[in-house]
Structure 1
Amino acid sequence: MLANLLCARPPWLRPLVGLLLLAVLSGANSAEEPARRRFRSVPLSQLTLPCDLTALNAEYVAALNYRRAQRNPGARPAHFEAGLLPGTFLHTYEMERRDSLYHDRDDRTVGEICASVSNLAPYRGRPRELARYIWTRFHNSPPHAAIQRDTSLRFVSVSCLNDFFVVRLSSRPYRANATRQQQFQQTLAIVQAATARQAHLAVRR
């Protein structure tokens, strides 16, 4: 069609069509692949816990039970499941390592909801506020809210690092295998040491 227009009459139309053709070709060649989003805000060696994991889990379960009871007063309460925590924490760490938000497809026996966070500063050292923030983030997304509301998912764990948080929920007690438990303890020790170093530096400043 453009070739036909280049032969068009009157002659004054030809330069305009030529400019149009140049613009179309230039636009096609100048398109760039969008840059992959980066999440991780610090080097992997500087990952820290925003607050005590035990306290965070207790506060999240409390928030979850409060909201579920409002919706369904007769629902059986959820509780923290220690057996879920190794996988929950390790997946949070792995997302930091890969600098990518994704679901763990290796374990399909539990429900998993995860998200990124751009600024944890207001919640550091404040497990109640962080737990409520996590609950609210998922509550504002209908698919995630449906999982949080599901009263059959009574066994719960939550984990959070610098840029991601993960909640896992199960309808029955869960037990991590020995290898997973060992990986969890080793990785948690590394992150706890980094957390202690950062706290020490903050005091010295």
Structure 2
Amino acid sequence: MTQPNQERRSDRARSAILAAALDLCREQGLARTTMEEIAKKAQVGKQTIYRWWPSKAAVLLEAVNELAGRATDFPDTGDLYADLHTQMTGVATLLSSPRLSPYLSLIGAAQDDPDVAKSFLDAIILPRVQAARERLRRAQEQGQLRADVDLEDVVELLYGPFYYRALIRTRPVTLAQVDDVLELVRRGLNPPAPVG
């Protein structure tokens, strides 16, 4: 009799755990979700979960990061505004999707738990902010963006409106918002026209 492939079994269990965490968090929120419920829904032992993650927030963090996947990657076609439009559309799509509602739960949990906040920043936010800064820096070098703007401020200016709507719920995040935000910032970010 052949032995089961442990790597395949682990990958299957990992996928089931991540899916269970997302489903439960969508249904009842992170605060009411327990490791016991995740284990039961994933049909694994609780010890299996604790072997890979220290907390339910850590499970959810990995699940959300995997779900977001490459949808928020930054293209570089040479046209800054086209690239921003593509990337920001990915962000708006994710923030408006009920599938990713656990992401907002993680943001809430990060407000009260320094460990969750650090993990959230390190795994999800900072890599994407760095990618945005790098794309904006290349645009400055190519003369597509004012050289005197602070890139951290530009990232916050571009993405803050989406998070404001998603977290405060003043209005829904929409794909039309991408065009609105880009049009508002385009005038102030463009380099000055040559005098001539």
The TM-score normalised by the length of structure 2 is: 0.22
Q: TM-score, normalised by structure 1?
A: 0.21
Decide which structure has greater strand share: 1
| Structure ranking higher on relative contact order (CA contacts 8 Å, 6+ apart) | 1
Structure richer in helix, relative to its length: 2
